[in-house]
Amino acid sequence: MSVGETVVSVQGSESAAVVETRLLHKMHRAATSLLAEAAQKPAAPSAALEELRDFVVAALRHHHESEDDVLWPQLTAADPAAATGLAELEGEHDALDASLDALAAASVRDDAGRAPLISAAVAVRDLVHTHLEHEEPLLLPALEAHMADDAWAQFSRAVIASAPPVGAHLNIGFFEQVGSPAELAVVTANLPPAALDLVPAMREQAEATLRSLKATELDLKASEQHLKATEQERTVTT
């Protein structure tokens, strides 16, 4: 089955806007949940943790700014009755911004501990999950009713083009974890050809980062022991 055929099968019951938005939301839930969990693991690699933290901050800011500045005005113009509900969601975005500021400022490599990072990551996770519970019952029906596929494709391409490059590979990693092949086809349909060529390498990079953050302390110790044993074998043979 081709990508085009997959998109048609998905869009038989839902618009591309709804499919892509729901997948983005699943990705945001997964990313914020993993960050909150990994921050509480003493053995979680600092570099990978910082990589995920920076991605979460950049991705969430860009996402809600695109909604506030572009998507909400489009939906309000199509349905003025939606303005009140969307304005309330903007207020939640303001609260999220404050929590993202705290998350961005928290040290990942602080020898004294990660308590500020843990607190900020948990706060962001809880806000995002609650916000999406409020947003989806309003946003998804509005997108289905008022956002034609060609208009959505234009919006989606603009969002992708303006997206910050911070941790871009993690988009691919999380999308593949939480999305079906049909959902992924809808999202990748709006990627430029040059970006599509990079997907295999981005997938591999993301898998390494996410695997290290999900590993338990025992997994990490076993990996370290394996590396030490391998090094010793190389020393003996040389």
Max CA separation in the chain (angstroms): 76
Which pair of structure tokens corresponds to residue 211?
């695997």
User: How many alpha carbons lie under 13 Å from residue 41 in its C-beta half-sphere?
Assistant: 20
- Any idea where the domains of the chain sit in the sequence? 3-237
Which pair of structure tokens corresponds to residue 114?
């990660």
Rounded to 10 degrees, the C-alpha dihedral 197/202/204/206 comes to -160
CB atoms < 10 A from the CB of 58, how many? 18
In this prediction, residue 19 carries a pLDDT of: 92
In this prediction, residue 204 carries a pLDDT of: 93
In this prediction, residue 18 carries a pLDDT of: 95
In this prediction, residue 12 carries a pLDDT of: 52
Q: Which residues contact 135 (CB under 8 A, 6 or more apart)?
A: 25, 89, 92
In this prediction, residue 159 carries a pLDDT of: 92
3-state helix, strand, coil in the chain (%, to 5): 85, 0, 15
Residue 27 CA to its chain's centroid (Å): 4
Give per-10-residue mean pLDDT for the chain (238 aa). 34 82 96 96 92 97 93 92 86 90 89 85 97 94 93 91 90 91 81 81 93 73 54 59
Instruction: Enter the pTM of the model.
Output: 0.82
In this prediction, residue 82 carries a pLDDT of: 86
